[in-house]
Amino acid sequence: MEKTGMTGAIGGKPDMGACTSARRGWRELLVFALAPGIVCALTLASWLLRQAGAGYLSTGFALTAVFLGGWQRFLAGFRDAARRRITVNVFVTVAIFVTLAAGEFLPAAVIILIMAVVGALEGYTLDSTRRSIRGLLDLTPPVANVRRDGAEVPVPAAELRKGDIVIVRPGERIPVDGVVEAGASAVNQAPVTGESMPVEKSKGHAVFAGTLNEDGRLEILTTKAGEDTTLARIVHLVEEAQESKAPVQGVADRFTTWFFPTVLILAVAGYLVSGEMKIAVAILLVACPCAFAIATPSAVAAGIANMARRAVLIKGGIFFELAGRIDTLVVDKTGTMTLGRPKVMAVVCGAGATETEVVSLAAAAEKYSEHPLAKAVTAFASERGLVSPEPDGFRAEAGKGVAASCGGSELVVGKETYLVERGIAIPALLQKAAADQAELGRTVIMVARGREAVGLLSVADEVKAGTAEAIGALKSMGVSRILMLTGDDRRIAAAVAAQIGVEEFRAGLLPEEKRAAVGELRKKGAVVAMVGDGINDAPALALADVGIAMVGAGVDAAIEASDVALMDGDLSRLVEFMQMSRKVLRRIKLNIFFSIVYNVVGLALALLGHLTPVMAVIFQEAGCVTVVVSSILLLRARVPGLRAADRTAPRALAPALTKA
């Protein structure tokens, strides 16, 4: 089957997407229907002329059918032979030319017809593994409304450029990757991130091409268009991966190399013993290892397509095989195991103060601070429905805290040392609570009113929901060692490791130290998978046997360095990937078993003279169809994953592919 690439499918030139789709449709019609139809007509005409006694005309029509239907195989066979490579095409070429040399012109035409029909069926079936991925490109609207000179102007999507302001109304699909400039809406991002629920978008939020704007008007500043969008890059990655070989494919290649001379010897022996050239031809045809050749690539292509629909992008078949042998998992912390943003974890009140009072005072003092911890405090107050009063004055001291006046009282919020510097008394109860929270790896924010501290808030990076369950599932699947590497403080690393169920960790590491740790594990013979999300993880991702990027919080460097991308930043997708890798490997082995059985049984029947050349081809092609159908079942294969209740992690977006 002809390979169809995605380059130029969208963007680049006006109407390129439409042209490519149209060309693809006509090409598939030619390959899947027209070519076998012509060969069928020529073969039928050859048979009718033969019955009528027009021998020369019959031979001419038969030869036309043979070369029209088989010229691509013959050309590939000659090229492979010239390169001293024994392939399936060499097998077919030799078998057909031996058939013609024996004067069996009509049988040769029938053989080519059968191969053409079955080849068209295989091509059509295998193409279904790509159709769902290619179809994603059709989600991008061909025309976008762009604001220019104060007016909305319809512009072909292929002509959109970085910096354009695109207007998207309710019910329309977003044509570009960009950032919301104005408006608010719920956006269905399932094609890109795999999220089942729409995500609320407002000013400053990233959006992706091909996603559906459900209920509001959005004005989007274009950051990427055409082939640079997240959606287009997903399709390119998947198509490139589907063309790659898994290492187990080398078994098929080696098998063909020694099997061909063996079959030639058997064919010669069959002819010498029986004196029948038809037996030799049948042996050559039935032994053609077509099914063996497609056993691996068909299963790999189906597995990659299946995982792509689950928001897992795999860059090559080799990673299915490697994933089945992973015994050591190395994980980053921030943005990978955690959400990468601070959150208030606990509130401790001093004598006479209430929790509501402590939170309200802290939020009032931090109201105008831009510090991430301040934002965590104000967000926590908002979540609890508290309305913080307006401070009369505000002053921030970098690295220490803030001071403000509110309702006639002086408020001081910040580090314990900051309060001590200002002569504020800290009760023993709060001192002990601060020490306890620090032991948990949390950052403590003291809250004082007047000359005495009234409470504290502890802040930490929140662990992603479902992470502990995913770690447990990976252990149960045979990952014997899980190591967390982080550049963060040791106490924080220890707290996160304990929370997610990881016994081993290393803290305070630089990027080169993470890479060295992965290299050290590999030198000891471990098969290492590395999960990371940022620039600092890229060196380790590149060195690992399988580099896995958590795209939900990452950057381009992590994506490019990785072998597998979890598009929604959910660790449970890694569990699904490893389960699918095992299914793919089992299916490859099953396919190889089917192909060997067909070859062995067919050879036995041919040697005994029970197969004509035409019957031999039918038998051999039946093996191909069996293998293809077996592989296609992987498209709908389910992997257990984690329980739905365990997979409640907040779905991060995928800015990794949208940053310039």
Among 335, 342, 307, smallest CA distance to 444 is for 342
Spatial CB neighbours of 128, under 8 Å, sequence gap ≥ 6? 632, 635
Burial class (CB in 10 A: 0-12, 13-18, 19+), 464: buried
Tokens of 207: 């959006």
Diameter of the chain by CA atoms? 117
Among 515, 567, 600, 586, smallest CA distance to 208 is for 567
Spatial CB neighbours of 513, under 8 Å, sequence gap ≥ 6? 485
Tokens of 256: 């063909």
CB contact at 8 A, 187 and 139: no
CB contact at 8 A, 10 and 158: yes
Among 260, 292, 269, smallest CA distance to 598 is for 292
Among 339, 340, 334, 335, smallest CA distance to 509 is for 334
Q: Which whole-number Å values give the CA distances from 168 to 138, 223, 225, in the listed order? A: 17, 15, 15
Q: Can you tell me the distance from the alpha carbon of 653 to that of 646, in angstroms, rounded to the nearest whole number?
A: 19
Beta strand residue intervals within 1-142, DSSP E: none
Q: Which one from 127, 177, 332, 537 is the annotated catalytic residue? A: 332
For the chain, what is the total number of helices (H) and then of strands (E)? 22, 22
Residue written as token pair 């620090």: 438
DSSP of 347-399, one letter per residue? EEE-TT--HHHHHHHHHHHHTT--SHHHHHHHHHHHHTT--PPPPSEEEEETT
The identity of residue 174, as a single letter, is: I
To the query of whether residue 228 is one of the catalytic residues in this protein, the response is no
Q: Can you tell me the distance from the alpha carbon of 509 to that of 503, in angstroms, rounded to the nearest whole number?
A: 17
Spatial CB neighbours of 57, under 8 Å, sequence gap ≥ 6? 49
Report the run of H or E that residue 11 belongs to, with start and end: none
CB contact at 8 A, 112 and 66: yes
Q: Can you tell me the distance from the alpha carbon of 322 to that of 563, in angstroms, rounded to the nearest whole number?
A: 11
DSSP 3-state percent helix, strand, coil across the chain (nearest 5): 55, 20, 30
**What Rg value do the Cα atoms of the chain yield, rounded?**
33
The catalytic site residues sit at 332
